Every structure is written in C-alpha cells, then in structure tokens.
Amino acid sequence: MKPTFYYEILTVVIVALITFTTRLLPFLIFGRKKEVPKAVEYLGKVLPPAIMATLVIYCLKSINLLHFPNGIAEITGVVVTAAVHIWKKNTLLSIGTGTVLYMLLIRFI
C-alpha cells in the first residue's frame, strides 16, 4: 500500500520538529549563563573517538581474510582515512578520501 500525500507531509513535519527540538534543547537547558556540567564536557571529549572506533569495528567485523580479495578494500580505506586525518587534520577530507578510495577498490578489484 502506497502512503498518501498527507501521510508523507505529516511524516516530514514530525521529523523536522523532532530534529529542531533536539537542536534547540541544549540551548534551553544550559542557556547563556549556565556553566556546562563537567560530565557533559567529558562526554563531548570522549564520545566522538569512541563512536568512530565503534563504526570502524562494525565495518570491519564481517571481513573474511581467507578469501581473496575480501578485506583489501576495507582495510586500505581505513588506513588511508586514518593517514589523511593524521596528516591534514581535516575530518571531511579524510573521510571523503577514504570513501572514494574504498568505492574505487571495490569496483575494480
């Protein structure tokens, strides 16, 4: 059954409101003059690397190294992404470079 036009519009409006609310909430909670709690500052420092490590492990978990060429594209993509990030300290450049290389490798290997 295909969703109706009004159902699709309602879905977009609800998602937009939820997204807007989650973006606005920290400003309402912490305001301009309130100091950010130490726990929130700590999480802001530790969560990004932890999430990236989790994503890398998730992406590499199903590699079967016993069958050629499985794993070559994935491992090369991760290594190049890390190397470009260490070299240039630019997240978009490193992720973009690793992704493009990975896509080329899976296409041509």
> To which H or E segment does residue 88 belong?
helix 72-88
Domain of residue 16: give its range: 1-34
Q: Does residue 41 sit in the same domain as residue 89? A: yes
The Cα–Cα gap between 28 and 34 comes to 10
The two tokens of residue 2 are 């295909």
In this prediction, residue 68 has a pLDDT band, given cuts at 50, 70 and 90, of: confident
Q: Does residue 47 sit in the same domain as residue 100? A: yes
The Cα–Cα gap between 82 and 101 comes to 13
Q: Does residue 1 sit in the same domain as residue 41? A: no
> To which H or E segment does residue 94 belong?
helix 91-108
Pairwise pLDDT comparison (27 vs 8), residue with the higher score: 8
Q: Does residue 102 sit in the same domain as residue 84? A: yes
In this prediction, residue 7 has a pLDDT band, given cuts at 50, 70 and 90, of: very high
Q: Say if CB 78 and CB 63 are below 8 A apart.
A: no
Q: Does residue 12 sit in the same domain as residue 64? A: no
The Cα–Cα gap between 59 and 51 comes to 12
Residue 54 has pLDDT above 90, yes or no: yes
How many structural domains compose the chain?
2
